Amino acid sequence: MVKQYADVIIDISHDKVDRPFQYRIPPELAGEVYPGVRVHVPFGKGNLDKAGYVVDISGHTDYPEEKIKSITAVDGKGITAQGSQIQVAYWLKRQYGSTMIAALKTVLPVKQKLKQLEHRKVTRCMEGEALLEALRQCEKKHQTAKARVLQALMTDEVLPYELIRQKLNVAPATLAALEKQGCLKIEAEAYYRNPVKCAPGEEKRVIPSRTQQEIIENVIGDYRAGKPGTYLVHGVTGSGKTEVYLGIIEQMIRMGKQAIMLIPEIALTYQTLLRFYRRFGDRVSVINSSLSQGEKYDQIRRAKARELDVIIGPRSALFTPFPDLGVIIVDEEHESSYKSESMPKYHARETAVQIASMHRASVVLGSATPSTEAYYRAKKGEYKLFEMTGRHGASRLPRVYTIDLREELKQGNRSVFSRKLRELIGRRLQAGEQSMLFLNRRGYAGFVSCRACGHVMKCPHCDVSLSEHRGNMLLCHYCGYEEQRAASCPVCGSKYLLGFKAGTEQIEEALYKEFPGVRVLRMDADTTKSKESYEKILSAFADKRADILVGTQMIVKGHDFPDVTLVGVLAADLSLNQNDYRAGERTFQLLTQAAGRAGRGDKPGEVVIQTYQPEHYSIVHAAMQDYQGFYEEEITYRELMQYPPAAHMLAVLITSRQQEQGEALSREMAAVIDARMRADGESAGEDTAETKAETEKAWQRLQVIGPAEASISKINDQYRHVFYIKHPDYQVLVRIKDILEHFCKEKELKNQTVQYDFDPMNTY
Ligand code: ADP
Ligand code: ZN
Ligand code: ZN
């Protein structure tokens, strides 16, 4: 197919990406026009000469041929920074499926009329006893925000204002009040000259171990030799990966290069930030969800202007337009938050590799529990693998007990705590040490049903059961729908409408009953509706204002509590029962991470894993902290079932207002693939024997599963149908996606939407 038409956007002014206009590519410019190239075109009635960017090219047009104007010239200066961002957007669109506009919006920063972000610093004005006394006063008056600031200033004389605002979550008024009290002073501007003057010599410079040195030298050596690669650093939490990242970035900066450091949002803690600030000063900045659009844009402007060397942030920081990108680091690369949940549903790991190859930069992936994908590629030699074993310093891996809950029941123990866990909690309380109890389950899943007829109370808008909450309310976790709990069953009228309590609330209650006087903090979707409440709970626990922290998986990520010596996992296998090919991997990762929370300080840690399936390989290997053993079993299963990474999988999700419409569309789409499969087999007859065999082979290995109703068949009154396509070659799936996109475009769908998800993190 000759691609003789180009979509050109005249004005990419960030704030609103304009609609593209189609132009003809004149034959003499064929081959020079592709996405990202700057071109000149005649525009509007007067055919004014305007410059624009090519964002897409295609072989067909929806306009009458005679109305299309031609591109007049190609800008000969090569691809600009803007152009290379458009190329990334184009790649996202092709690779993951979305409109070009959606892809551009993902990549390009949002511009807003904004005032220049002020750079301010906060300096402490009190020392020793006086400061301690001020802190005591604040604590006495329960001025927790003030206390947080003073605490931070105890360790550092000077801190960036923004750091305090964002990471400590302190309001400007609070800082102003502290200034009035004479505890600190706020100064503007100086930030630029001498931004993060942490008390001199504060950074604890460590001498890299032999392993650390080897990794740094390898990455930098390859880079200097003009052979930047992708590297996977496998090392347990505390093995010194961050030191490796710091070392690599430092060398890159020396070569005049910049670095992007990706961290899952939830793990982007104050401590981590401070480590980077201490090493690199004001040449480091952060992009995360707590920044305003204006602040975000300002960071991007600084990056472009070479005012920054390092940007730290979650997924979206990947698109920071550094002029001389040297390395992209993806910490905790296994985290599912690296996959975008809206279209284009890109994965930051793969996108990092793509962006790095465009800039001839290196990619360093790090994890204690690498994703099956990354480890598989490393084993195949696509990535260079480095193993870091053991923790630094005194802290050792914890001792793990796996408890069979069926045995407990046989022994007559009906409590949520096994005897072992109860005993160990008791000991911790006596010793004044902290524990964390982790319920492997999202939210609070206590559904309500009728004991007489079995009717389950469901959300009228979603295909999910409602959850019971304190105060006799029933809540839908998908759409927020709420209703008063009925007194009797709406179907049979029986009075026995009861809730199945299971979840963090129940555990909290059980703790109060079993250990009178215990101080418990609870952290789950209910208690952390806002980001502040999340940080409040964490800092309260860090300040030892509670003995036990109970929570869902959000408590196992990233946070360092040196005084936690016991971690209990209450229902380790709940996540195994999800009908999902990644369930085993997710369970292993969660358990390994949870176990890693115990004994981070000098005291040894213990872990109790309670489960109904102690023999499951995810649990067995997690208990032994044996990644290799887990990986071997997992990859055998993926290979057998042709799941990623052994093959690739495309999920096509169709949502519709009317159930029948969605069902019909999903069937039609599956039929399109089927027809295409046959047609391609036949038309291959015109090709050479070799390509014919190849085409046939390609289609033969295609598997279509479904269409069927999604496992949650309705959300927010939208019906959901899904089908899956599996194939070993990713590009074959991209072609199928193109065919389906084309088909849907022709159909001009109104009340239906189609989403594509390559190698999905969850099944639908
Ligand atoms: P990870 O990122 O793998 O969790 P870190 O890099 O945070 O590990 O290291 C864990 C702890 O060990 C940190 O306190 C760090 O300062 C310390 N550490 C790391 N490498 C060394 C080293 N070579 N010598 C001394 N201490 C080190
Ligand atoms: Zn009933
Ligand atoms: Zn709902």
Instruction: Tell me which of 563 and 196 has the higher pLDDT.
Output: 563
Tokens of 530: 């806002």
**Confidence class of residue 194 from pLDDT cuts 50, 70 and 90?**
very low
Closest ligand (CA of 329): 1
Q: Parallel, antiparallel, or unpaired for β 497-499 and 184-188?
A: unpaired
Tokens of 52: 């624009």
pLDDT at 221 over 50: yes
State the Cα angle at 155 between 149 and 160, rounded to 5°: 55
Contact 647, 727 (CB under 8 A): yes
Q: How far, in Å, is the centroid of ligand 2 from the Cα of 719? A: 26
Closest ligand (CA of 278): 1
pLDDT at 395 over 80: no
Instruction: Tell me which of 633 and 542 has the higher pLDDT.
Output: 633
Q: Show Cβ contacts of residue 650 under 8 Å, excluding neighbours closer than 6 positions.
A: 724, 725, 726, 733, 736, 737, 756, 757, 758
What does the buried/exposed string (b/e) look like for 244-280 if buried means 16 or more CB atoms within 10 Å of the residue's CB?
Answer: bbbbbbbbbbeeebbbbbbbbbbebbbebbbbbbbbb
Q: Per residue in 310-341, pLDDT tens?
A: 999 999 999 999 999 999 999 999 999 999 99
pLDDT for the residue 443: 40
**Confidence class of residue 663 from pLDDT cuts 50, 70 and 90?**
very high
Task: State the closest ligand 1 atom to the C-alpha of 207, by its place in the atom list counted from 1.
Answer: 23
pLDDT for the residue 196: 35
**Confidence class of residue 102 from pLDDT cuts 50, 70 and 90?**
confident
Q: Per residue in 455-494, pLDDT tens?
A: 888 888 888 788 777 667 888 877 778 888 888 889 888 8
pLDDT at 16 over 60: no
pLDDT for the residue 461: 87
Residue where the block lists tokens 């460590």: 206
pLDDT for the residue 398: 83
pLDDT at 170 over 80: yes
Tokens of 148: 């947080």
Residue closest to 146 by CA, chosen among 181, 111, 113: 181
pLDDT at 195 over 70: no
Number of other CB atoms surrounding residue 350 within 10 Å: 17
pLDDT for the residue 243: 94
Query: How buried is residue 732: exposed, middle or buried, by Cβ count under 10 Å (0-12/13-18/19+)?
Result: middle
Residue closest to 363 by CA, chosen among 223, 500, 462: 223
Nearest CA to ligand 1 atom 11: 238
Q: What is the DSSP string of 272-337?
A: HHHHHHHHHGGGEEE--TTS-HHHHHHHHHHHHTT--SEEEESGGGGG---TTEEEEEEETTT-GG
DSSP single-letter state for residue 486: P
Is the CB of 209 inside a 6 Å radius of any atom of ligand 1? Answer: yes
Contact 531, 169 (CB under 8 A): yes
Residue closest to 231 by CA, chosen among 151, 327, 305, 153: 327
Nearest CA to ligand 1 atom 19: 240
pLDDT for the residue 646: 94
pLDDT for the residue 21: 87
Q: Per residue in 462-471, pLDDT tens?
A: 887 887 776 6
Q: What is the DSSP string of 186-206?
A: EEESHHHHS----STT-S---
Q: Residue 14: which region, alpha, beta or left (left: phi > 0; alpha: psi -120 to 50)?
A: left
The C-alpha atoms of residue 572 and residue 588 are separated, in whole angstroms, by 9
pLDDT for the residue 500: 61
Is the CB of 238 inside a 6 Å radius of any atom of ligand 1? Answer: yes
Mean pLDDT, the chain, whole residue set: 85
The C-alpha atoms of residue 734 and residue 742 are separated, in whole angstroms, by 12
Is the CB of 392 inside a 6 Å radius of any atom of ligand 1? Answer: yes
The C-alpha atoms of residue 48 and residue 122 are separated, in whole angstroms, by 53
* Distances from the Cα of 205 to the Cα of 249, 258, 578, 706, angstroms: 15, 21, 45, 56
Closest ligand (CA of 459): 3
Q: How far, in Å, is the centroid of ligand 2 from the Cα of 485? A: 14
Q: Cis link prior to 344 (omega < 30° from 0)? A: yes
pLDDT for the residue 631: 97
Is the CB of 558 inside a 6 Å radius of any atom of ligand 1? Answer: no
Q: Give the dihedral of Cα atoms 288, 294, 295, 298; nearest 10 deg.
A: 110
Q: How far, in Å, is the centroid of ligand 3 from the Cα of 497? A: 20
Of 195-209, 370-384, 522-536, the range with the lowest mean pLDDT is 195-209
pLDDT for the residue 65: 79
Stretch 122-143: mean pLDDT: 86
Measured on CA atoms in the order 736, 741, 742, 746, is the torsion positive or negative? positive
* pLDDT-above-90 percentage for the chain: 40
Tokens of 476: 């839908």
**Confidence class of residue 689 from pLDDT cuts 50, 70 and 90?**
low
pLDDT at 582 over 50: yes
**Confidence class of residue 681 from pLDDT cuts 50, 70 and 90?**
low
pLDDT at 187 over 70: yes
Q: How far, in Å, is the centroid of ligand 2 from the Cα of 441? A: 27
* Distances from the Cα of 508 to the Cα of 127, 416, 547, 549, 607, angstroms: 41, 11, 12, 9, 19
Stretch 668-673: mean pLDDT: 93
Is the CB of 237 inside a 6 Å radius of any atom of ligand 1? Answer: yes
Q: Which amino acid is at 426?
A: G
State the Cα angle at 174 between 173 and 175, rounded to 5°: 90
Instruction: Tell me which of 138 and 226 has the higher pLDDT.
Output: 226
Measured on CA atoms in the order 630, 633, 636, 637, is the torsion positive or negative? negative
pLDDT for the residue 201: 44
**Which range is most confident: 183-197, 231-245, 546-560, 592-606?**
231-245
Q: Which amino acid is at 537?
A: I
Q: Per residue in 536-560, pLDDT tens?
A: 888 889 889 999 999 887 777 656 7
Stretch 260-289: mean pLDDT: 83
Instruction: Give the phi and the psi of residue 575 in degrees, each rounded to 5.
Output: -75, -10
pLDDT for the residue 377: 97
pLDDT for the residue 306: 92
Q: Per residue in 416-437, pLDDT tens?
A: 899 999 999 999 999 999 999 9
Instruction: Tell me which of 709 and 293 has the higher pLDDT.
Output: 709
Residue closest to 37 by CA, chosen among 71, 3, 86: 86
Of 264-268, 286-290, 584-588, 678-682, the range with the lowest mean pLDDT is 678-682
pLDDT for the residue 423: 96
Q: How far, in Å, is the centroid of ligand 3 from the Cα of 469? A: 15
Q: How far, in Å, is the centroid of ligand 2 from the Cα of 445? A: 20
Is the CB of 331 inside a 6 Å radius of any atom of ligand 1? Answer: no
Measured on CA atoms in the order 244, 588, 546, 503, is the torsion positive or negative? positive
Stretch 704-718: mean pLDDT: 89
Q: Kindly report the pTM of this predicted structure.
A: 0.81
Q: How far, in Å, is the centroid of ligand 1 from the Cα of 432? A: 27
Q: Show Cβ contacts of residue 85 under 8 Å, excluding neighbours closer than 6 positions.
A: 107, 108, 319, 321
Closest ligand (CA of 269): 1
Task: State the closest ligand 1 atom to the C-alpha of 237, by its place in the atom list counted from 1.
Answer: 4
Q: Which amino acid is at 88?
A: V
Closest ligand (CA of 495): 2
Q: How far, in Å, is the centroid of ligand 3 from the Cα of 461? A: 5
pLDDT for the residue 191: 34
